[in-house]
Amino acid sequence: MNTLATPAYEQPRRRHLRRRDLLPYALLAPIGILMLAISVYPGLYAIWLAMTDASLLRLARAQFIGVGNFVRAAGDPVFIDSLWRTLRWDVAVVGAELAIALPIALLLHRSFRGRGFVRVAMMIPYITPPAVVGLLFAYMFDGNFGVVNDLLVKIGILDQYVSWLSDPTGSFAVTVAAMVWYGQPLMALILLASLQTIPQALYDAAQVDGASGWQQFRYITLPHLMPSILFLVLLRVIWMSNHIDMIFVLTQGGPGFSNYTAAVYSFKLTNQFEIGFASAVAVVLTIILVAASAMYVRHLARKVLVTA
């Protein structure tokens, strides 16, 4: 059987193509190496620390203990309670942010004088550092000289000053309020961007058909916003589950353990030099978030985004 030989003039061209095919990988290599350095390596190192008795006082002499820290976490009532408090924190903050951000986005989508200024001013809370926001709310709700107590006493709602941050329920409410004030502008901005992608022709056709404002919102606006809303909920839940700043500045997790989320508990353990156990707590939280996110995204792909 005869085989056709490759012409001599084709060989340099093929070698050139093989070299050119490697160019995209060479261009992506630096960012790939950077991602490994800042993401994969710290994650693997955290898993390794979680399986040791590492302490900041003797990090170089850490001993491998296998799943000992994970067994300890499973029997630690503070950690178990911190998972439930993390869920409570996520639901309260993300739910309140969405409830406030959606009406704001709908309002800023309308035409009115000064709309551009209002859109810019809306972002002021979000560009303020969380630690500064926490200090601001700590002074506002201070039990001795806070402006909130002073205002509520003057208008007759309170008979005397209340120590908000010394009460488990009050401190949680203040911390949620501070986080919502800080975070809702970002959610409103993203929802506003999504609103601007809805064709105006849909609303014009609905008006011709006699649809009310509520019917337009329910059957046009909300279905188009739903993918963005669900994506925002996922991102904010992940961010809030790992958030420490606001809780620590306002309450340091107290009073007692009443505001200990899993992230705050891991941070406090680090301050106590228990690096191994703190890493185990962080790893367990990460596993829970990854598993929950995977199921959530799978549900979106199957039920929501397909019909959007």
Is 130 part of any domain? yes
pLDDT value at position 6?
Answer: 52
pLDDT value at position 54?
Answer: 80
pLDDT value at position 303?
Answer: 64
Cβ proximity of 72 and 52 under 8 Å: no
**Structural domain count, the chain:** 1
pLDDT tens-digit profile of 64-101? 888 888 998 888 899 999 999 999 999 999 999 999 99
Token duo for residue 235: 């991102």
Cβ proximity of 245 and 138 under 8 Å: no
Q: Which residue has the higher pLDDT, 5 or 164?
A: 164
pLDDT tens-digit profile of 206-258? 888 888 888 888 888 888 888 888 888 999 999 999 888 888 888 888 788 88
Q: Which residues contact 204 (CB under 8 A, 6 or more apart)?
A: none
Cβ proximity of 93 and 233 under 8 Å: no
pLDDT value at position 88?
Answer: 92
CATH number at residue 175: 1.10.3720.10
pLDDT value at position 182?
Answer: 92
Mean per-residue pLDDT over the chain, rounded: 84
Q: What is the pTM of this model?
A: 0.82
Is 197 part of any domain? yes
Nearest to 151 by CA among 166, 139, 161: 161
Is 13 part of any domain? no
Cα 98 to chain center, whole Å?
13
Is 58 part of any domain? no
Is 77 part of any domain? yes
Is 258 part of any domain? yes
Burial of 232 by CB count in 10 Å (0-12 exposed, 13-18 middle, 19+ buried)?
A: buried
Neighbour-count burial for 119-129, b at 16+ CB within 10 Å, e otherwise: eeebeebbeee
Is 60 part of any domain? no
Is 48 part of any domain? no
* Percentage of the chain lying above the pLDDT 70 cut: 91
pLDDT value at position 92?
Answer: 93
Backbone φ and ψ of 82, nearest 5° = -65, -30
Question: Can you give the residue range of the structural domain that contains 241?
Answer: 70-304
pLDDT over threshold 60, residue 307: no
Residue type, 21: D
pLDDT over threshold 80, residue 127: yes
pLDDT over threshold 80, residue 186: yes
Q: How far is CA 116 from CA 92, 122, 218, 270, 307, in A?
A: 30, 10, 27, 45, 34
CA angle 120/189/129 to nearest 5° reads 70
Token duo for residue 4: 């056709």
CA 130 – CA 113 distance, rounded (Å): 31
pLDDT tens-digit profile of 15-59? 555 555 777 788 888 888 888 888 788 888 888 888 888 887 777
